[in-house]
């Protein structure tokens, strides 16, 4: 966990499910190379096999692309892309020695299609998708399965990170559109239960020959279907109006 001070909720859920004794908590900030190395060394020092790595760290930085600074964009990539890549590389030697293992990348439908106000997040997930697809082709011959899970909108804390300064700047040329975007995209709409994603990942880990991509969520499937079936101009118009990005 990035913050061990927040383990109480997970620990309570594990105890209620009767699996607390099967869980260890370790600190890991995926943008900290020393922490990654330390955890990799710990796992390698043990005799137990490593069956799976699930890269689930990530956050969404809202902001129209022209309002997001270079520093903010790099922070988005440090967690969503570079962090996942660094953690994966730290554990690949173990998988290689074993000749088996699953690496699951929790990506997003936002790694397949761009959305106004989420350009930074989209960019990081597009990068993760391409890197993971290449990694799958490199690792499959040695018995390691690499999989992308692409959820739509689920009830998580992905929006709890600090928003980009562009979202708060009344002088931005996107100020009016930003207000509409926040009203529509960050509203208190009830989102799907994220346990469905966890259950999908569990199924993938039991599958010796999983496919590359798994899309989950009605909105994710609908979005990809619309992009495939609609003329490009109609699809773009629907996305622009649906997110409040029109003038």
**Residue 101: both structure tokens together:** 């293992």
Summarised one tens digit per residue, pLDDT across range 49-91 is 999 999 999 999 888 999 999 999 999 999 999 999 999 999 9
Q: How confident is the model at residue 181 (pLDDT cuts 50, 70, 90)?
A: confident
Cβ 153 vs Cβ 216: under 8 Å: no
Give the pLDDT score at 34: 95
pTM above 0.85, yes or no: yes
Mind spelling out the 3-state secondary structure of 153-192? CECCCHHHCCCCHHHCCCCCCCHHHHHHHHHHHCCCCCCE
Give the pLDDT score at 221: 95
Q: Looking at the domain assignment, is residue 133 inside a domain?
A: yes
Q: Looking at the domain assignment, is residue 167 inside a domain?
A: yes
Q: Looking at the domain assignment, is residue 35 inside a domain?
A: no
C-alpha to C-alpha distance for 166 and 182, rounded to whole angstroms:
12
End-to-end CA distance of the chain, in Å?
A: 41
Q: How confident is the model at residue 185 (pLDDT cuts 50, 70, 90)?
A: confident
Q: Looking at the domain assignment, is residue 25 inside a domain?
A: no
**Residue 118: both structure tokens together:** 């989420």
Share above pLDDT 90 across residues of the chain, in percent, rounded to a whole number: 76
Domain count, the chain: 1
Q: Give the structural domain span for 93.
A: 49-242
Return the CATH number at 94: 3.40.50.720
**Can you give the length of the chain in residues?**
247
Sign of the Cα pseudo-torsion (32, 35, 111, 179, in order): negative
Q: How confident is the model at residue 95 (pLDDT cuts 50, 70, 90)?
A: very high
Q: Looking at the domain assignment, is residue 149 inside a domain?
A: yes
Give the pLDDT score at 176: 85
Cβ neighbours of 8 (radius 10 Å)? 9
Q: How confident is the model at residue 165 (pLDDT cuts 50, 70, 90)?
A: very low
Summarised one tens digit per residue, pLDDT across range 127-141 is 999 999 999 999 999
- Minimum mean pLDDT range among 6-10, 18-22, 188-192, 236-240: 188-192
Q: Looking at the domain assignment, is residue 9 inside a domain?
A: no
Q: Looking at the domain assignment, is residue 206 inside a domain?
A: yes
Q: How confident is the model at residue 168 (pLDDT cuts 50, 70, 90)?
A: low
Summarised one tens digit per residue, pLDDT across range 96-125 is 999 999 999 999 999 999 999 999 999 999
Q: How confident is the model at residue 188 (pLDDT cuts 50, 70, 90)?
A: low
Summarised one tens digit per residue, pLDDT across range 193-241 is 899 999 999 999 999 999 999 999 999 999 999 999 999 999 999 999 8
Give the pLDDT score at 228: 95
Task: Tell me which residues are annotated as active site.
Answer: 121
Q: Looking at the domain assignment, is residue 225 inside a domain?
A: yes
């Amino acid at each position: 966990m990035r913050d061990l001070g927040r383990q109480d909720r997970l620990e309570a859920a594990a105890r209620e499910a009767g699996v607390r004794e099967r869980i260890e908590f370790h600190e890991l900030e995926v943008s900290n190379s020393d922490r990654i190395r330390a955890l990799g060394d710990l796992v390698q020092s043990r005799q137990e096999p490593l069956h799976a790595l699930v890269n689930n760290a990530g956050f969404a930085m809202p902001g129209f692309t022209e309002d997001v600074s270079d520093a903010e964009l790099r922070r988005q990539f440090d967690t969503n892309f570079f962090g996942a890549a660094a953690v994966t590389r730290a554990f690949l030697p173990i998988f290689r020695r074993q000749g088996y293992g699953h690496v699951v990348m929790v990506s997003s439908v936002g790694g397949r299609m761009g959305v106004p106000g989420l350009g930074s997040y989209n960019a990081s997930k597009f990068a993760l998708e391409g890197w993971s697809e290449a990694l799958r082709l490199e690792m499959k011959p040695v018995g390691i399965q690499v999989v992308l899970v692409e959820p739509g909108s689920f009830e998580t804390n992905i929006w709890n990170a600090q928003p980009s300064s562009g979202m708060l700047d009344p002088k931005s040329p996107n100020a009016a559109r930003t207000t509409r975007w926040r009203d529509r995209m960050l509203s208190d709409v009830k989102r799907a239960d994220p346990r469905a994603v966890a259950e999908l990942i569990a199924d993938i880990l039991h599958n010796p020959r999983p496919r590359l991509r798994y899309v989950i969520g009605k909105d994710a499937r609908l979005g990809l279907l619309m992009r495939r079936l609609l003329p490009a101009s109609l699809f773009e118009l629907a996305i622009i109006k649906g997110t409040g990005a029109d003038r």
